[in-house]
Every structure is written in C-alpha cells, then in structure tokens.
Structure 1
Amino acid sequence: MNGLRVVESGTGPAVLWLHGYTMDLTLWEPLWGLLPGWRHIGVDLPGHGGSEPLRPGVTLPALAARLAEIASAERADRVVGLSFGSCVALQMALEAPEVVRHLVLAAPTLGGAPPDPAARRRYLELMMLRRAGGAREQMAELWMSSPPDIFRGTEAHPELRARLREVIGRHSWAELDSGAMAGLTAHRHSAEDLVRIRARTTVIIGDSDMPVFVDNAKMLEKMVAQCDIRTIYHSGHLPLLECPEMSAKAVFAGLALSERVDTA
C-alpha cells in the first residue's frame, strides 16, 4: 500500500505496529502470538524491510500523515511503536487525533530530545564505515555492539539476538548515503505538542534502558493528559522484543483502554 509493506495477522480490533530503526515488521510475530483477539497490522517503515526507500526531504509529519491514512483505512485506532517507531506513532497522534485513540510507546523517543551521547557517536561511526565500503554484516555488527546500550539487553536472549542480526543484516543503509534520515530526526516535539495529545497513552520502559529514554518517559507522563508508565523488569531498550511475555500484559492494558479524553 503506497509503496509500504503492510502485513495483517489475526482478527479483532485493529492495531498498527511500528518497528525501530533498522528493523522490520517480522520481529513482532512472537508478541502478536501472545495477543490473540486483535487484528495486528504491521508496517515496514520507508527504507526498511520490504518497503520503498526513504526519500530525502521526507519529514516526520509527512511520514506520520501517510501512516495515519493506512491506520484510517484499516480502522486501526490503536498504534504501538518501539524506539524510533514510537516517535512516529507520537507524531501520528498529533497529525490525526481523530484516527489515533490509543498509543503504546515503548522505549519512548521524542523528536528533538537530546540524544544518547554514545548512540550519536555510533551513528557517526556507521556513516564512516559505510563510506569506507563496509559490508552489511559489518554494519550490523557495529550497530549492535555496546555502548550504546541499544542492543545490550538482547545479550541475555541469544535467539532474539540472532534474529535481530539477521534482520539488520538485510538493512540497506541507503539513508546514510542520501542523508534521508535527517528530514525525520530534525523534527522537534515541544512541550506544546505533547499537551495536545488526546490519545490514551501507555509508555513502556525497560528498567535497564538508557537514561535518555527514562527521561522521555517522565516527560510524557508529565505533559500528556492521560498517560501511565509501565516498567518491564530485566529488560533494556527493546522490552517488547526482549521480554514479550511480560510486555504483552502491558501492551494489552494499553490497547484495551476504551475511554478517550474530551477535547478541552
């Protein structure tokens, strides 16, 4: 649909799922299996998985509006996002509040928030390796190494880590050549933006996640009208993938909320 790979699984109320940077929708399958009674709609973000490349100049609001059209067509008023996917989900709630009624944001990422210093250095290292002709396997190895601690929590889950390495090993990294990610990461979520969110919001954070994302969770709890934080213990930056059994309970609680805040 519209150049984006969309996969549907299950029956019931529809939920749109947005993965993290360099990942794809196939990583949701274990969690979907733990959440019967929902129609899961997975989307590969541009430049990921089976979707079209990310074009230079595409902004976060433009991408969010495009995904909101898919959500509307699928009657998916619930959106789950992980890491960078949570940033896109948040923007969807701002662009289309009439569509997005429930948000589940794991490893919450705010546009324009101060980045994790180690993650920033790693991104620069990836750009240098790419320019030096690094193979995809080398890029995946560098991206998944710590610090930063994006993938540290997966070290306790060898099967997940192998699966992530397989998925990330297929990533094209074309956005490093074109600079296309700059259009997405340049967007800033201000306090004024956050107070406008009317979707019921559940924030999921791993107890060993990086401080930047813990701060993001606290900011959302403070600024979003109806927001609660759920901590997944013994997990890092990717709690939905690292601990799917525990995360399923938190995700279900967010998806099952039925009330909506009235517009002030």
Structure 2
Amino acid sequence: MATPEIDLTVYPDECDAYGHLNQASFVALFERARWEVLARGPGMDFFTRRGVWPAVRKSVVEYLAQAYPGDVLRFSQLLVHVGRTSFTIRQMARRQRDDLLVATAELVFVCVDQRGTPVPVPSELPNVFGDRPLPGNLRRVAVNGVNLAVLAKGQGPAILFVHGYPLDHSIWEHQVAHLDGWTRIAPDLRGMGQSDAPDLGYSMQTYAEDLLALLTAMGVDKVVLCGLSMGGYVAFEMLRRARERVRGLILMDTRAEADTPEGKKARDAAAQQAREGGADAIAGAMLPKMLATAPAPGQPELRQKLQRMMAATPMAGILSALSALKERPDSHPLLPTLTGIPTLVVVGEDDQITPVAGARTMAAAIPGAQLRVVPGAGHLTPLEQPDVTTRAVADFLATLPRAE
C-alpha cells in the first residue's frame, strides 16, 4: 500500500524575522503530515483504538534548503523499520515548485500503553504508512528481525559482494552486470541503502550474522566473499564465524588492523559531526578522500552519485556503523590461518584510506594470496575503474574449481 503524499502550505506566522520557515515550524509540519496520513486513512484514533500510543524516542531533522511563505511542501513518509515495540519513520519534504528536497526527518517511536509500558506495534501499521518501495531489481529478505534489500542476478556458484560505509549495493553494479556464470548477490547492509535501519546499535558481528542468515535464506551454502573497505571487516568476521562457507576471498580497498586510539577519536568526532550536520556533513568530509586525486573522465558524475548515496543513509545506520568500525577487532591474527582459501587482494593505486603498502603487507600475510594494484583508482576501485576491477575479479574466479 502506497502512503499518500501530503501537501502543506507555508504561512507567514510559521516563518522567522528573515522570512524563512523556522526550525520549530519544520518539526510541526512533519508532525502534521503524519497526522494527515492517519486522517486520510484509518483515522486519527488509529493508535488509541488499539490501546497504544506512539511515543517519540528519538528524532533527527536535517535542514537542507529554505522554504518561504506561500511555498507548498510535499511530504512523503516511509516506514523504514518495524521492531517488536518500536518503529522508525523517515520523512522527506520537497518544495513543490522545483522538487527541491528542503528537509528530512527520521523518528523512532516506541509504542506504550496508558502506564507507559512498551507494548507491541500494531500489526496493521504497515498498511497505514506502507513499506518502503524498492526498485524493480531489488527484493527484500527478512533476516534477524530486519529486512535486507538484495540485488541478485545469474546462476551458478555464488559470489557475495559486501559494500563499505556509508554506501550501498550499487557500488557493485558493473560487477553484478558482467560476471556471467555466477550467482551475484549484492545486499544493502542493515542501516544503509534500502535495508531497514533499526536504531539498535550494530557491530561487525551483527553485519556478519545478517549476511550468513541471508545466504541461508537464499539457499546458498558456500560463496566467494568479496568485501570493500568496511565490507572487508565484515568478511573477516564471517570467516571467524563460518569459514567453511567461504570458498574464495576478495579483499578490496580494506585493511586488517583495528582502529588506533587516534582512529577511535576520529570515529567519535565523525559521529558528532553526523549529529550536528547530518548525512550531508559526513559525505562532505569523506568524499575528498575516497576518489583518486588525479581528475578522470566521469569523476564529477561519480562524485554526485556518491554524494546522493551517502546523504540518503539513515542517521541510525551512520551512527551504528561508526560504532562498529570503532570497536572492530584486529584481524591480523586471522590472516595466516586462511590457508586453503584462495584470496585476491585488490587496491587502488591512489587509495588514501587503505594505501597500497598496507595491502601488500596484508597479501603477504595470507598464504598464497594474489595482489592486484589498480591504476587510476582511489578507495573505490569498483566504481572508479569498473572494467579493470571486473576483469581482475573474473580472472580470479576463473582459477577456482567450479565443482563443490
């Protein structure tokens, strides 16, 4: 069921002395839009009829552009997560005259009874606010209490692509499109892309358990595991938990070591930056370090794509990922134990985040590992040099035994 979009007009009494819609009025309009959804659907007494009340536990509003008296704002509402007693709604407000996104809001509600005790979310809630729509090439798979958005294509042995932070499955589009003869699986990790974003706090173990459960749900026993950046850290955790399910390993633009004390402080600073400036602030800080420094054809368009991808990441996903990154274990002791798992290490020649020297050291520590340095790429080789990266992956896959 599609949730209706709500058009609300900005009035002068909602604006500040400079004629802008003020912050408090933005919050009020987001709330009015939610009430309008109820009024046009099951009625404003939807919750009280069921003996529950949705109490706001957390709200994050990002102010992206100005609105003025007379502007009509179009509000959309997406139900992005439903837990046992809590649910999360993400709202967007666009200026109707030019379709400019002016603000977003993400709210976590807890359903309580008259005594304030948490109670189950009404089962009819998705019928009111609707599920988040997915593009036609994605599907939802329920694992560990969340819905993961998954791109799957092809037949044959499986390869699982794990993206980094704060990205989504689309960084692997070229590889998924061209690696014929393989079942290509590229999910959005919880808290990112089109997957649910519960405000519960995550760890690398959480992500790994999700992906192992995803493989089981899809009937996949063994995979070639390909992780980029944070996806590499998730891959290490999957190896700790279920080494027997990994028949090959590709570590791309990643490292084995844990965060240093200085790195942990930087994660805390990034979390504070996210709270104050939203996902756009995170994108602005990260983008300059992610791409190769030398200008390349198509880089402006790629930069815009990444900006949109990062800015769309829910706040719960950003903060939880930063916590998981900060607390991840050192994986150096794991590397020499990977005997018998064919491994390819790929790194961009101009990777500023996980440089070539570290990739060489990591490859040398893994018995029999191959190393591929990709010219003209920074920290995002699958996007910056898609043809070269796909060929490197295809060449590696061709060396693996097909029968399992």
TM-score scaled by length of structure 2: 0.56
Identity of aligned residues (%): 28
Q: Which residue of 2 is the match for residue 163 of structure 1?
A: 305
CA distance in 1, matches of 2:343, 2:294: 26
1:230/1:209 CA distance change after superposition, 3 Å: same
CA distance in 1, matches of 2:235, 2:271: 26
Q: Is the 8 A contact 1:60 1:185 kept in 2?
A: no
CA distance in 1, matches of 2:174, 2:324: 32
1:44 aligned residue (161, 184, 188): 188
Q: Is the 8 A contact 1:154 1:160 kept in 2?
A: no
Question: Greater strand share, 1 or 2?
Answer: 2
Count of paired positions: 253
Q: Which residue of 2 is the match for residue 151 of structure 1?
A: 291
CA distance in 2, matches of 1:105, 1:210: 16
**Alignment pair present for 1:252 and 2:398:** no
Q: Which residue of 2 is the match for residue 181 of structure 1?
A: 322
**Alignment pair present for 1:11 and 2:155:** yes
1:112 aligned residue (239, 252, 258): 258
1:256/1:153 CA distance change after superposition, 3 Å: farther
CA distance in 2, matches of 1:85, 1:104: 10
CA distance in 2, matches of 1:162, 1:9: 26
Q: Which residue of 2 is the match for residue 140 of structure 1?
A: 283
Residue deviations 1:87-131, cap 9 Å, x none? 1112212321110111111102325154997x974x555333333
Q: Which residue of 1 is the match for residue 86 of structure 2?
A: none
Q: Is the 8 A contact 1:204 1:229 kept in 2?
A: yes
Q: Which residue of 2 is the match for residue 98 of structure 1?
A: 244
Residue deviations 1:126-185, cap 9 Å, x none? 3333333x24434422332x3xx22345953222222111211201132455x5632453
Return the structure number with greater relative CO, CA threshold 8 A, min gap 6.
1
**Alignment pair present for 1:219 and 2:361:** yes
CA distance in 2, matches of 1:58, 1:125: 18
The Cα of 1:55 is off from its aligned counterpart by 5.3
Q: Is the 8 A contact 1:116 1:212 kept in 2?
A: no
Question: Can you give the 5+ residue segments of structure 1 that lack an aligned partner in the other structure?
Answer: none
Q: Which residue of 2 is the match for residue 128 of structure 1?
A: 272
CA distance in 1, matches of 2:391, 2:317: 35
CA distance in 2, matches of 1:226, 1:71: 27
CA distance in 1, matches of 2:214, 2:294: 31
CA distance in 1, matches of 2:323, 2:280: 24
Q: Which secondary structure does the structure 2 equivalent of 1:204 belong to?
A: strand
Question: Can you give the 5+ residue segments of structure 2 that lack an aligned partner in the other structure?
Answer: 1-140
Which of the pair has more CA radius of gyration? 2
CA distance in 2, matches of 1:120, 1:216: 21
Q: Is the 8 A contact 1:155 1:161 kept in 2?
A: no
CA distance in 1, matches of 2:152, 2:400: 23
Equivalent position amino acid for 1:143 in 2: M
**Alignment pair present for 1:77 and 2:220:** no
**Alignment pair present for 1:64 and 2:193:** no
CA distance in 1, matches of 2:194, 2:326: 22
Q: Which secondary structure does the structure 1 equivalent of 2:284 belong to?
A: helix
Question: Greater helix share, 1 or 2?
Answer: 1
CA distance in 2, matches of 1:114, 1:138: 23
CA distance in 2, matches of 1:244, 1:115: 34
CA distance in 1, matches of 2:283, 2:353: 24
Residue deviations 1:179-221, cap 9 Å, x none? 5632453122343322222421100011111274434312322
Where has structure 1 moved over 6 Å in runs of 4 or more? Answer: none
1:183/1:130 CA distance change after superposition, 3 Å: closer
